[in-house]
Structure 1
Amino acid sequence: MIFGLFRRSHDDDDVRTIYSGIMAHARHPAFYERYGVPDTLDGRYDMLMLHAFLYLHRLKTEPETAREQGQKVFDLMFLEMDRALREIGVGDLAVPKKIKKMASAFYGRTAAYDEALSGTGGELAEALGRNIYPEEGAEHAPLLARYVRHAAEVLAAQDLTVLVREGPSFPDPAPFAEQKSAAL
């Protein structure tokens, strides 16, 4: 009976699978090589937040059970960030403050991306430029904005059951960057 307390549920496995897929896609080399995203802790964090946003954005108008799965992915993401901060040596007293700051940044970015994604102009490129390219590389923001719009469209067409059980299937950013670069 006590062993049942330590068994992971199938739902936990689904959430880990979804989070792992989002994380893996956020680390795609094309973002750092072709889109000019800084290959730093901050740059990788920004790409993880962007892809988590795209997944959660897709689920926000779906039934409660889908939104609950999104919340579980969000919770796991910040649990993993807590673990990562501790692994790199951030002190126990500082971790909660850093997580709070990271969550605040996530909420700010998602609000900006959500508003900009509903617009038709350059608002998305501006929001990405401010958040992902704060020091240099903002000339890549329009290309990344086109990718984000494309990814949102791809996710909108994906089956909800698959999204909730297996996670999103993001488009490959490499060919999209090549195709769009030629058009610039």
Structure 2
Amino acid sequence: MGLLALFRRKPHERTGFELYGAAVAAARDPWYFGPLGVPDTLDGRFDLVGLQVALLIRRLRTDPDPRGPALAQAVFDAMFADMDINLREMGAGDMSIGKRVKRMWEAFHGRAQAYEAALDAGDHTALAAALERNVWRREAAEPGLEALALARQAAASAALLAATPLAELLRGAVRFAPPEAADAA
């Protein structure tokens, strides 16, 4: 391997960052923090970004084209590169960054698995219960109206992503369901 190979971009790196940026933009919709009441905190923002990214990665990872899973990995890499940068900008010490990013990865992975299992089963109540626990940090016998609305919106996004051709995603073009999808579903 030559020295220049160290400076080459990984396959799909730029597209991974573009798709990740679209997921972040979707997670910043005021509907989440206003009418839905998601806490406008670091945890609340992390959970919303994590939800959008989990939906996107789920779509890409299951694509039969090998470029889909490769692009899913690029989105994941972009997310955690961004998390690392944000922690540094917030003043986290270099010695603690690795541990904090690892905890974030574990939190993301657990949430993504719960969301995927509920979506795969078509169980909106289970999805809402997972969102209730993770986004609002509440344990309840039944998910609240906010969690049910977020579950409907997430399911609408998952359906929209499933219908998106891989060619569009490879160009960095992605759409998430708007908040109105929660009312229509």
Q: Fold match, TM over 0.5?
A: yes
SS in 1 for 2:103: helix
TM-score, normalized by length of structure 2? 0.86
In structure 1, list runs of 5 or more residues that go unmatched. none
Letter in 1 for 2:71: Q
- Match for 1:154 among 160, 164, 171? 160
Structure 1 CA distance, aligned partners of 2:164 and 2:149? 23
Letter in 2 for 1:85: L
- The residue that corresponds to 2:51 in the other structure is 50
In structure 2, list runs of 5 or more residues that go unmatched. none
1:125 maps onto 2:131 in alignment: no
SS in 2 for 1:93: helix
Structure 1 CA distance, aligned partners of 2:31 and 2:157? 15
Structure 2 CA distance, aligned partners of 1:104 and 1:112? 12
- The residue that corresponds to 1:88 in the other structure is 90
> What is the identity percentage for the equivalent residue pairs of Structure 1 and Structure 2?
40
Number of equivalent positions:
178
Contact 2:153 2:178 in 1 (8 A): no
Question: Which protein, 1 or 2, shows the higher relative CO under an 8 Å CA cutoff with sep ≥ 6?
Answer: 1
- Match for 2:172 among 140, 163, 166? 166
How far 1:87 moved relative to its partner? 0.7
Change (3 A) 1:132 1:3: same
Deviations 1:102-124 (A, max 9, x none): 00001100111111112244111
How far 1:4 moved relative to its partner? 9.2
